[in-house]
Amino acid sequence: MTTTVIAPESARVTTEAHERRPALSVRGLRVRYGSREVLSGIDLRVAPGEIVGLIGESGSGKTSLARAVLGLVPVAAGSVEVDGQDVSTFTRGRWQSFRRSGSAQYVFQDPLSSLDSRFTVRASVLEGLRETLPRTEAEDRAARALRTVGLAETLWDRRPGQLSGGQRQRVAIARATAVSPKLLICDEPVSALDASSRIEVVRTLETIARAGTGVLIISHDLSSLGAIADRVSVLNEAQIVESGPAAEVLGSPRHPYTRRLIDAIPTI
């Protein structure tokens, strides 16, 4: 069932994506904390409209990768290109204007902590837009983003505490996509949610990708990735040990670590 949804999508990606600028292109990335290297030579590519899954356990370096792409930790070596711009050389001021342009956005694991509990849905989504746009235009864009994630207009004046887990996470996605990013990075977007909320968030991410945004999902949970990712990369001890189409990597893993990871998942 999942494969039939993805098949035409990935076909389009493979033909078009390589002609367009990649949403994210990481080459030989190294990140160090003091003397400890948490990423040693990472290569990763996300094409526009593609969903890439990055799998790793805690301590594998997957969060550092996201933080390096977003300029939250310094890059020791290698290049990180977001929509064709090499961000690894950015200065502080350059980062500010880059962020305001909204090229790369981030969705946190737990929407309850990433949304200000005092802000209404509308105010949260408007926050980033109001930095660059006049009020009416910003409101139009926010409304469009909220409709894209399928959030009914009756919910727009509620606060996070009055929404379900899935609705909250869709607000967080709307806030990130309202500024029309080329790249959307999601850190464990469904791990904090109950099973019933997972489907709605996963479907929302598929919609976002179909509209042309490159989506990178970082997770330790292979099962949620397997359902939506076009390609996956497996990160272990600072290095990518295996990448390829999701069905191939998860269905018939070649690297022993990937196999161990998949075997560790309890089955029904």
Partner 1 sequence: MRTLRTLTSRPTAVVAIVVLAIVSVVAVAAPAITPHDPLAQDTSHVLAGPSAAHWLGTDYLGRDIMSRLVAGTQLSVLAAAEAVVIALLLGAGSAVVAVFSPQPVRWVLERVFDSFMALPFITFAVAIGALLGNSIHAAMVAVGVLAAPTFFRVVRASVLEISHTQYVEAARLLGVRLPRIIRTHVIPRIVPVLLVTSASVLAASLLVVASLTFLGVGVQPPTPTWGGMLSADLSYLALRPWNPVAPAAAIMITVAAVSILADRIRDLGDGTRAPEAAPDDGRAGEVTLSDDAAAAVPAQPAPADALVAIDDLCISTEAGTDLVRRASLRVPRGASVGILGESGSGKTMTVRALLGVLPDGVSVTGGRIAFDGAELAPDAVGRRDLHGRRIGTVFQDPSTWITPHLTVGAQVDEVLRHTHGLSKKSAAATRDDLFRHVGFRDVQRVAHQYPHELSGGMLQRILLAIAVTGEPDLLIADEATTALDVTVQAEVLDLIRRLRREHALTVLMISHDLAVLAHSCEYLYVFRDGDLVEEGPTEQVLHAPHHPYTQSLIADHAVFGIEALRHASRSTHTPAPPKETTRL
Partner 2 sequence: MTRIALRALLRAAPVLFVTAAVTFLLGAFAKQEPADLLLGEAATPEAVAELNHELGRDRPLVVQFGTWIWDALHGDLGESWFTGIPITTTIADRLPVSLSIAGAALAIAVIIGGGAGLLAAIRRGSWIDTTVTVVASTLATLPPFVVSILLILLFGVAIPILPTGGYTPFTQDPAGWLACIILPAIALSLEAAADIARQLRTALVHTYDANFIRGALLRGLSPARVLFRHALPHAAGPALSVIGIQVPRLVGGAIIAEQIFSLPGLGLMAYNGATQGDMPVVLGSVMVIVVVVLISTFVIDLLLTVLNPHERTAARAAVRTTPPTAARAAVGTTASAGSRTKRTTA
Q: Binding to partner 2 by residue 74, rule CB under 8 A?
A: no
Q: Residue 33's beta-bridge partner residues?
A: 36
Among 39, 44, 46, 115, binds partner 1 (CB under 8 A): 115
For residue 3, the partner it binds in partner 1, partner 2, none, with Cβ less than 5 to 8 A by kind, is partner 1
Task: Pick the binder of partner 2 from 85, 237, 244, 255 (CB under 8 A).
Answer: 237
**CA torsion through residues 50, 200, 169, 137, sign:** positive
Instruction: Count, in order, helices (H) and strands (E) of the chain.
Output: 11, 10
Residue 89 vs 191, nearer CB to partner 1 = 191
Quick one: 31 or 261, whose CB is closer to partner 1? 261
Residues 37-66 that bind partner 2 (CB under 8 A): 58-59
Candidate residues 79, 148, 164, 207; the one interacting with partner 1 per rule CB under 8 A: 164
Binding mask 205-234 for partner 1 (x = CB under 8 A): ---------------xxxxx-xx-------
- 125-146: burial string, b at 16+ Cβ within 10 Å, e else: bbbbbeeebeeeebbebbbebb
- Choose the one of partner 2, partner 1, none that binds residue 36, judging by a C-beta under 5 to 8 angstroms depending on kind: partner 2
First to last CA, the chain: 19
From the number of C-beta atoms within 10 Å of its C-beta (0-12, 13-18, 19+), residue 23 rates as buried
Q: Which is nearer to partner 1, 3 or 14 (CB)?
A: 3
Q: Is 151 in the site for partner 1 (CB under 8 A)?
A: no
100 touches partner 1 by CB under 8 A? yes
- Residue 71 backbone phi and psi in degrees, to 5: 80, 20
> What is the chain's alpha carbon radius of gyration, rounded to the nearest angstrom?
18
Q: Which does 131 bind (CB under 5 to 8 A by kind): partner 2, partner 1, none?
A: partner 1
Do 155 and 122 contact (CB within 8 A), yes or no? no
Do residues 215 and 52 lie in contact, with contact meaning Cβ atoms separated by under 8 Å?
A: yes
Task: Check: CB of residue 215 under 8 Å from CB of residue 227.
Answer: no
Footprint on this chain of partner 1 (rule: CB under 8 A): 1-3, 57-58, 70, 96-102, 105-106, 108, 110, 112-119, 127-128, 131-132, 161, 164-165, 172, 175-176, 179, 194-196, 198-199, 220-224, 226-227, 246-247, 250-252, 260-268
Footprint on this chain of partner 2 (rule: CB under 8 A): 33, 36, 58-59, 237
